Amino acid sequence: MRPDLLEVLDSISWTFDTQIVPAVPPGIATSLSFTISNMLRHARLRAEREGESLAEDNQELRALLNRIASYARGDAELKAEEELFADYPAPMGPAGYRGLAQVTEEATVLRWRLQHAIERLQAVRDRCGTQPAYRRLREEIRAYLDHQLEREARWMDDAFTGPRR
């Protein structure tokens, strides 16, 4: 049986930390060794968790963008921007296996749309800011962004442990 990617990264990290780092002379090389160790741990966590995290995030973000589109259809000024506020009902690309590159590309597109939707919603805040539907939508956006950061922390925070420069 062959090792999987996580086992390979674990082996590289173990070898680097136990065999190479102790032999590195003090100074800038030590600092660089700590950085490499952290980056190896980061790469391992990303390999393990990033794909699933982004897929979950994309699903949640598509639903939020559809709620924003629904709100925009009820506002004449926003409704005019059909491309920005069009529904985004399904994942991009073919059905079946969705690799990390495809999920990441989709996340980039979805986040671009959210960024621009937020900008447009902010532009109509003076006119719409007191409407309950507008306020609920803004709360949903904030809740999504909080959840996005929590989800990303699963594959980021743990990686930056151990000695640092």
Residue-wise pLDDT tens digits, 71-95: 988 888 887 777 667 766 566 665 6
pLDDT of residue 89: 59
CB 138, CB 121: distance < 8 Å: yes
* Mean pLDDT, residues 42-56: 89
pLDDT of residue 159: 63
pLDDT of residue 23: 93
pLDDT of residue 101: 87
Structure tokens at 13: 């990290």
* Mean pLDDT, residues 22-45: 90
Q: Helices 100-123 and 28-73 sit at what angle, rounded to 10 degrees?
A: 60
**Residue 56 predicted with pLDDT over 70:** yes
CB 42, CB 164: distance < 8 Å: no
Rg of the chain in Å (alpha carbons): 22
Lowest mean pLDDT among 35-39, 40-44, 49-53, 86-90: 86-90
* Mean pLDDT, residues 150-158: 78
pLDDT of residue 92: 61
The tens digit of pLDDT for each residue in 131-147 reads 999 999 999 999 999 99
97: confidence class by pLDDT, cuts 50, 70, 90:
low
Dihedral angle of Cα 128, 130, 136, 138, to the nearest 10 degrees: 60
CB 55, CB 98: distance < 8 Å: yes
Sign for the pseudo-dihedral over CA of 42, 44, 47, 51:
negative
CB 102, CB 93: distance < 8 Å: yes
